[in-house]
Amino acid sequence: MHIGILLAIGAAVLFGTAQFLNAAVSARVPGVSVARWTLGGAALVTGLATAVMRPGVQTGTTLWALLAGVGSALGSVALYRSLARGNVSVAVPLATTSSTAIPVAVGVVLLGESADTSTVLGLIAALAAIILVASSHDNRPSPGFHPAADLEPADRTALSPATSWAAVGLPLLAGAGFAAELVGVSQFASDQVISLLWVSFVVALLLLLPVRTRERARTRRCDIATVIVAGAMTATAMVAFHQATQLTGLSTAAVIVGLYPAVPVALAILVLRERPGPTRLIGLACATVAVLTISGR
């Protein structure tokens, strides 16, 4: 299997594992707070690495880091706003599919990457996997996740599924934000990846600090430690994703990394002994097909 494909798979596994850890903590801590601590952990790891390596940073490449940081913050806020309105079954699949499809479109249309038959078939299988794995047909969030409690009461305008543009617009905005982050990271100079990631994480963290949340309980040290570990995983995943884009192209790497929602489902089965429904099992099968299709080019 191509090393670029392996790096993309590794990035997806790390992203998914980080999400699994964050989901466990979000049972007690508001999601926005979890996002802040995750970014803090990622910034800490990349900051220490930058201090040791001391790579030079050019102004032109810093703009890509700013794009990635703004995209990350925008995606997080838009997603939590959508979840706070009760649109769990719509928001998560829509945000995830758009955050995968947009980088693919950028890679093919703007960067001139080729889209052969296996890539197209892999993308179709991947999008199907994302929708099936991330969807919740009973319209309830994952166990222990309470998105409506993440924001101040003034920010929670409705807890029933919205009929306005927000029902679709906010998830699409979230997906566009996360897509901007991936596109920005893919354009980092290879000798400045760590330092530029640090810039992007710091920018995203600073933008998330003013977002109001309603704390439900005092954050425990073990929760903070868990989320910081998740942040370190996220930083490592971003490095792997960047390297994958250099070897396989943005479109291919984005498709594989977009399969990360399958990882928490698999971990829930293996670690928590959960019994997934047929929809998610089919989603896992589609994810496997997507990887095999793309890697078999």
- Predicted confidence at residue 137, as pLDDT, reads 47
- The backbone torsions φ and ψ at residue 46, rounded to the nearest 5 degrees and listed phi first, read -70, -30
Establish how many alpha carbons lie within 13 A of residue 197's alpha carbon, considering only the half-sphere containing its beta carbon.
34
Sorting pLDDT into bands at 50, 70 and 90, what band is 87? low
Considering only residues 220 and 246, tell me which one the structure prediction assigns the higher pLDDT: 246
In the chain, the largest separation of any two C-alpha atoms, in whole Å, equals 52
d(CA 165, CA 27): 29
d(CA 293, CA 84): 37
Residue pLDDT, tens place only, 182-197: 999 999 998 899 999 9
Residue pLDDT, tens place only, 258-289: 999 889 888 888 888 888 788 888 988 998 89
Comparing CA positions, the residue from 279, 259, 249 lying closest to residue 100 is 259
Would you say 104 and 257 are in contact if contact means Cβ atoms under 8 Å apart?
no
DSSP, res 30: -
pLDDT value at 164 more than 70: no
Distances (CA, A) of 76 to 12, 54, 114: 18, 30, 31
Residue pLDDT, tens place only, 249-263: 999 999 999 999 889
d(CA 118, CA 292): 10
Would you say 87 and 167 are in contact if contact means Cβ atoms under 8 Å apart?
yes
Average pLDDT over residues 136-163: 41
Output b/e per residue, 203-217; b: 16+ Cβ within 10 A: bbbebbeebebeeee
Would you say 16 and 260 are in contact if contact means Cβ atoms under 8 Å apart?
yes
What region, left, alpha or beta, does residue 139 occupy, with left being phi > 0 and alpha being psi -120 to 50 degrees? left
Instruction: Count Cβ atoms below 10 Å from residue 123 Cβ, excluding itself.
Output: 23
d(CA 107, CA 102): 9
Would you say 65 and 203 are in contact if contact means Cβ atoms under 8 Å apart?
yes
